[in-house]
Amino acid sequence: MNDIKIDYTNAMADAIGKKHGVSESELDGLAPQAKEALLWLQELRAQKTVGFFDLPSIDTAPFKKFASRVREKYENLVVLGIGGSALGTTAVHSALNSAVWNLQRKRKRNGYPKLFVPDNIDPDWFDEILRHVDPKKTLFNVISKSGSTAETMSQFMIVHHHLKEKLKGKWKKKVILTTDAEKGVLREIAGEFGLTTFNVPDNVGGRFSLFTAVGLVPLACVGVDIDSLLAGAASMAERCLNKNLRENPALLFAALHYLADTKKKKSISVMMPYSSKLAGVADWYRQLWAESLGKRYDLNGKEVNTGQTPVKALGVTDQHSQVQLYVEGPFDKLVTFIEVENFNRESVIPAVFTDKPTLQYLAGKSLNQLIATEMKGTEYALTTHNRPNLAIRLPKLDAHTLGQLLFMLETATAFAGKLYGIDPFDQPGVEFGKKYTYAMMGRDGYEQLKGELLKSAGAEKRKTV
């Protein structure tokens, strides 16, 4: 059995008391709403308005075929995307491929290209990456569902200009586009120049799009076993259809977070993997939980201002940075650990410095034992200080368990949205910021908004020192 497990003992009142822990009766009390959430998702699937839950059965053949060509031809793959168009790729790549992937020779990478995901527009940083990669040996995958995101499109425009200068007409072979099947300027550009494209399904939002071409194409290109990733997601999908709240991992994760937030004032959700390779998953979760659940209005238009603040932490590193706060600071957090029960390697601490008695307790033990013990230590410290915590346990870290984990978190996010009574699939707050950028950067159609913004900026007195 390769199933991941959620251990929620320490989130419950039995372990940490009623004030901070969820009681069995509170969980029972939420069961009808949880059942409704399950039915609601089933309905959305049937209406085809929400597509993410059915992605585990996506046809991967075209992605794998394309990836084998990329493997033969390219030294570098550069993904130009942001938010949901970038975070999943980074999370899976860093979880499953070597920590020094880009430093290794091609042979060591099994012939696959290096991967760069410059998901920011820091001009220095982006230029340094662009100058580093040889245009002849580099493929650029521009990923934007809307085709209008200013960051991605400006990067694409820079890359296009750079490639045209270096390669003339051959630039077209070095760019592929992943975007909406019909709409958007990227789709227009693809048609005009005959570029290779992949589709983002209309009913899958950015942060739920990892298991589409958005994530699967670049991941297949760097050798990730995408079929195994999807098989893991599929096995989790089955578990997430269970009507029993205590047997459905996504429903339980959602319910515990919802109750912790609304009944126990735990307004912060900390995601703390005890694995550097899973640090990217915590980044990905941060976007998923924040953008999906942080909403001003509920579905009836009532102002509710929902959402826990997701925080990323890393075990053991943040034991020396954050854990003091988590153990003794405000009672406002629900901490989720991610544990890898069996690492792929065993790293034994040798018996050296034998004349130093204070170090001998480490000799002959392993980093594996040390990291497991330290996680237990943090669980223990939190629990004895009445701080709720959960542990998601992965028997080992591979494509299958990772697929389960990511799919569980996506589904839990959708369920949590229903429990809060908000729409987890929209992001009006993000769009608000995007519109500001369009207006102030002079995009056609945004003249009136620009005028209003300039007026209010002029009226405002800056406070500076």
Q: Which residue, 290 or 371, has its beta carbon nearer to ligand PA5?
A: 290
Residues of span 273-312 touching ligand PA5 by CB under 6 A: 291
Q: Which of 26, 151, 291, 339 is catalytic?
A: 291
- The reply to whether 400 sits near ligand PA5 by the rule CB under 6 A is no
Q: Which of 168, 302, 320, 461 is catalytic?
A: 320
Q: Is the dihedral of CA 264, 409, 268, 380 positive or negative?
A: positive
- Asked if 291 is an active-site residue, the reply is yes
Shortest separation between residue 169's beta carbon and ligand PA5, angstroms: 27
Residue the block writes with tokens 């662009």: 130
- The reply to whether 410 sits near ligand PA5 by the rule CB under 6 A is no
Sequence letter at residue 429: G
- For residue 15, give both structure tokens: 């372990």
> How many CB atoms are located within 10 Å of the residue 308 CB?
24
C-alpha angle 315/103/67, rounded to 5°? 95
# of chain residues touching ligand PA5 (CB under 6 A)? 15
Sequence letter at residue 201: P
Shortest separation between residue 368's beta carbon and ligand PA5, angstroms: 36
Shortest separation between residue 39's beta carbon and ligand PA5, angstroms: 25
Instruction: Tell me the H-state helices in 168-278.
Output: 185-193, 213-221, 226-239, 249-264
Instruction: Tell me the H-state helices in 55-198.
Output: 61-73, 87-96, 123-132, 150-167, 185-193
Contact stretch for ligand PA5 (CB under 6 A) within 120-128, 143-151, 187-195, 303-311: 143-151
- Torsion (CA) 84, 277, 60, 288 in degrees, nearest 10: -20
Put residue 66 in one of left, alpha, beta given phi > 0 → left and psi -120 to 50 → alpha: alpha
Q: Which residue, 82 or 177, has its beta carbon nearer to ligand PA5?
A: 82
Among 56, 83, 135, 218, binds ligand PA5 (CB under 6 A): 83
- Asked if 182 is an active-site residue, the reply is no
Shortest separation between residue 153's beta carbon and ligand PA5, angstroms: 8
Q: Are 72 and 110 in contact (CB under 8 A)?
A: no
Cα 10 from Cα 260, distance rounded (Å): 12
Give the 3-state secondary structure of residue 439.
helix
Q: Which residue, 205 or 215, has its beta carbon nearer to ligand PA5?
A: 205
- The reply to whether 21 sits near ligand PA5 by the rule CB under 6 A is no
Shortest separation between residue 83's beta carbon and ligand PA5, angstroms: 3
Among 82, 189, 279, 311, binds ligand PA5 (CB under 6 A): 82
Among 144, 319, 389, 411, binds ligand PA5 (CB under 6 A): 144
Q: Are 81 and 140 in contact (CB under 8 A)?
A: no
Instruction: Provide φ and ψ at 175, rounded to 5°.
Output: -130, 130
Shortest separation between residue 168's beta carbon and ligand PA5, angstroms: 28
Residues of span 197-226 touching ligand PA5 by CB under 6 A: 205-207
Q: Which of 64, 263, 434, 450 is catalytic?
A: 434
Among 10, 60, 76, 152, binds ligand PA5 (CB under 6 A): 152
Put residue 313 in one of left, alpha, beta given phi > 0 → left and psi -120 to 50 → alpha: beta
Contact stretch for ligand PA5 (CB under 6 A) within 133-141, 142-150, 221-229, 270-278: 142-150
- The reply to whether 186 sits near ligand PA5 by the rule CB under 6 A is no
Q: Is the dihedral of CA 462, 463, 464, 465 positive or negative?
A: positive
Cα 439 from Cα 348, distance rounded (Å): 58
Chain Cα centroid distance, residue 192: 33
Q: Which residue, 10 or 85, has its beta carbon nearer to ligand PA5?
A: 85
Q: Which residue, 142 or 260, has its beta carbon nearer to ligand PA5?
A: 142
Contact stretch for ligand PA5 (CB under 6 A) within 140-148, 305-313, 408-416, 441-449: 140-148
Shortest separation between residue 434's beta carbon and ligand PA5, angstroms: 7
Entry field: residues in the chain: 465
Give the 3-state secondary structure of residue 284.
helix
First to last CA, the chain: 61
Among 21, 51, 84, 388, binds ligand PA5 (CB under 6 A): 84
Q: Is the dihedral of CA 268, 273, 276, 282 positive or negative?
A: negative
| Residues 226-245, mask of contacts with ligand PA5 (x by CB under 6 A) | --------------------
Shortest separation between residue 5's beta carbon and ligand PA5, angstroms: 28
Residues forming the active site? 291, 320, 434
Residues that bind ligand PA5 (CB under 6 A): 82-85, 144-146, 149, 152, 205-207, 291, 427, 430
